[in-house]
Amino acid sequence: MSAVPLVEQLSRELGISTATALFDGLVPRPVDPVLAPMFRRGGLPRGEIVTLTGGQSLSCALATIAMATQEQKWCAGIGLGEPAVSSIADLGVDLDHFVNLVTPAEDWLRVASILIESFDVLVVDPGFLPSAGERARLLAKVRERKISFISLTSMPGSTEQITITDTQWSGTEHGHGRLRSCLVQARSQTGVHRFLLPGPDGTPSEAPPRTPTEGTFERPVIRSVS
């Protein structure tokens, strides 16, 4: 069957006119309400690849999948190193439904292709960028299994791109104390978003209102003294 009759049939029988419309019909996985505005459909898309890059991207990805694990969906991490278990739990991830695999960088694509068959969500820090053919096969599997795939490296073919553009830790302003929270600024197709990650209780929190001087810095001056 050629493409034109197929599109006409889908449009007539299902009300679907494009491939994008087909996947727009899938209900996204719920995420923390603080993070939801970053996504075009208010949640983690299924059957698509999302890229999440920049500082705090791993923490943001783990916070994004937290609700899925709480709903007993199986999630796996590939190429993430060995993040602290307590930190993962603080972000709201149900450890009983999260598997972290420490694999050689060159094996990430093979491992991901296997896990796609049985997991609901994958968070991957690719050891290398796949070729166009490998990427097409990966995306076809993601679509077929309707899983949520988060890449911590920019990857062509991703439908949503979220970039952490700035992070500001607080808690040690006077040279002592301990880090308590991190103000994160992220940019996505839906705009620029600000939130705390971690917030006071470890999970995402609303960012405090902007102050008049926020984002302005005094230029340091070097003075010569005799």
d(C-alpha 129, C-alpha 157), whole Å: 12
Task: Please report, in tens digits, the pLDDT of each residue of the chain (226 residues total).
Answer: 455 565 555 455 544 445 555 555 689 999 999 999 999 999 999 999 999 999 899 999 999 999 999 999 999 999 998 888 888 999 999 999 999 999 999 999 999 999 999 999 999 999 999 999 999 999 999 999 999 999 999 999 899 999 999 999 886 666 665 677 899 999 999 999 999 998 888 889 999 887 665 554 444 555 566 5
- Which tokens hold the place of 209? 């209102």
Three-state DSSP string of 45-76 = CCCEEEEEEECCHHHHHHHHHHHHHHCCCCEE
E strands, 3-156, in order: 48-54, 75-78, 98-101, 121-124, 148-151
d(C-alpha 192, C-alpha 172), whole Å: 26
Strand pairing partners for 196?
183, 205
CATH label, 24-162, candidates 3.40.50.300, 1.10.10.10, 3.90.1150.10, 3.40.190.10: 3.40.50.300
State pLDDT tens for residues 93-107.
999 999 999 999 999
Q: Is 41 helix (H, G, I), strand (E, B) or coil?
A: coil
pLDDT of residue 218: 46
